[in-house]
Amino acid sequence: MTASEWASDASPWTWLCGDLHTHCEDTAQIGNYVDRIDPRLDFVALTNHGQKPVFFEQHLMVADLRQKWQSGLVLSGVEWNAPEGGHACVVFPPHANEAEHAYALSRGFDRHLEGAKPDISGGLALLAQLPAEQRPVLCFNHPAPGQWPADTIATYRDRAVDGLVMGLETVHGHQGYDAGTCWDLKTYPGCAPGGLADMAYAAGLPFSLLAHSDFHIHKQDRLFDYGPGVFNHTLVGVPASDHSAEAIFTALRAGRTCAAQGHWLRLEEMNVGNADTRARIGDSWQGDGAQAFVEFDSTDEIDSVDWIGTFDQQSATIIETVANLPAGRHRLQLPIPDGARGFLRLRVLSASQQRPAPGPQAPKGFFTSAILLNSPTA
Ligand SMILES: [Zn+2]
């Protein structure tokens, strides 16, 4: 069976490029912000903190941004000082009430707002009672050591309605200066084998791995950072014919994402399948006699391609590594044992440390979200 035959039973996803975590704390700087957006970006969210005075004017900035940047979708959100944890972006589908919902969450449940009662269940209940089409997605931000313990992430997932608490920043933002580049991609808690992402997959549910800029336009005179879509970005798999906000939110909730640093790797296909059927990123594989398959194009030389996960619900590790590949197109396979239960995800690290100027030189990572393995014969 060839790869193209495998791919024939479903049309390939179109991967849209997004950034769900950016800031502008000066209404006069929206034009400057727009000037820094990469033309490859398809959607962006403005996610200011609730304790900043400008936050309750964010709806004006979002309206201005929608006027000034019409080549993509603008979303409205908040970077929540989340109860019992670090920061979490809560991003709303476009709707007349989008800002009101973000303001209510902050006033009610933010750790840094006077009069608020920071309570996980209360905050999540407020979001759960919204009509489904107005309900946001939540992701855990910059999970450096000490920011987001695995059990707190699990608590949020347990107490939220389905699809609300959907993912994690796999890599740190701020990759334009040392606040982001000081972290090693092999050990950063968000992406390390057996780290926070992998502990979240132990629940056996879809989970989205994400990469965002955490761009602050109002700090650019003293602290260079990459604008939205220039470096860190989230790829979201949508049907070729549907690039709507609804399709993007559906993909985020389904764990159908990749976390990418730079634009050097194009994922063509990744699945677990046999002669009859296959599961793609975010899907759950339920069969035997399977192979994992990945095909991608890279403009950079590659340091390593790692299959990460578990076949027996133990803690996740690197299952297999292919090292030192040239630039170009690659197809890799991995046999999946019958009865496998767990998950499988892919990490690709570049050999080149070249990043867009004037950022620092450092390795670049590409991380897929997982395919879940749920063999019925286990
Ligand atoms: Zn931020």
CA of 93 to the centre of ligand 1 (A): 19
Q: Tell which residue, 95, 105, 49, has the closest CA to residue 75.
A: 95
CA of 329 to the centre of ligand 1 (A): 35
CA of 79 to the centre of ligand 1 (A): 6
CA of 295 to the centre of ligand 1 (A): 33
pLDDT on residue 275: 87
pLDDT on residue 378: 52
Q: Model's pTM, two decimal places?
A: 0.96
Residues 111-169: pLDDT tens digits? Answer: 999 999 999 999 999 999 999 999 999 999 999 999 999 999 999 999 999 999 999 99
CA of 346 to the centre of ligand 1 (A): 26
CA of 138 to the centre of ligand 1 (A): 14
CA of 27 to the centre of ligand 1 (A): 17
pLDDT on residue 93: 98
CA of 209 to the centre of ligand 1 (A): 17
Q: Tell which residue, 264, 267, 160, has the closest CA to residue 203.
A: 160
Q: Tell which residue, 68, 129, 73, has the closest CA to residue 97.
A: 129
CA of 228 to the centre of ligand 1 (A): 12
Q: What is the separation, in whole angstroms, between the first and last Cα of the chain?
A: 26
CA of 41 to the centre of ligand 1 (A): 18
Q: Are 28 and 218 in contact (CB under 8 A)?
A: no
pLDDT on residue 52: 94
CA dihedral 282, 287, 288, 293 (to 10 degrees): -30
DSSP letters spanning 4-24:
HHHGGGSPPPEEEEEEEEEE-
Q: Would you tell me how many other CB atoms lie within 10 Å of the CB of residue 287?
A: 21
Residues 45-66: pLDDT tens digits? Answer: 999 999 998 999 999 999 999 9
Weakly modelled stretches of the chain, pLDDT under 70: 1-9, 377-378
CA of 170 to the centre of ligand 1 (A): 14
CA of 305 to the centre of ligand 1 (A): 30
pLDDT on residue 367: 98
CA of 221 to the centre of ligand 1 (A): 17
CA of 48 to the centre of ligand 1 (A): 7
Backbone angles phi, psi at 89, to 5 degrees: -85, 130
Q: What residues does the ion ligand 1 have nearby, CB within 5 Å? A: 79, 214
Strand (E) or helix (H) holding 269: strand 265-273
**What are the structure tokens assigned to 156, written together?**
């949020």
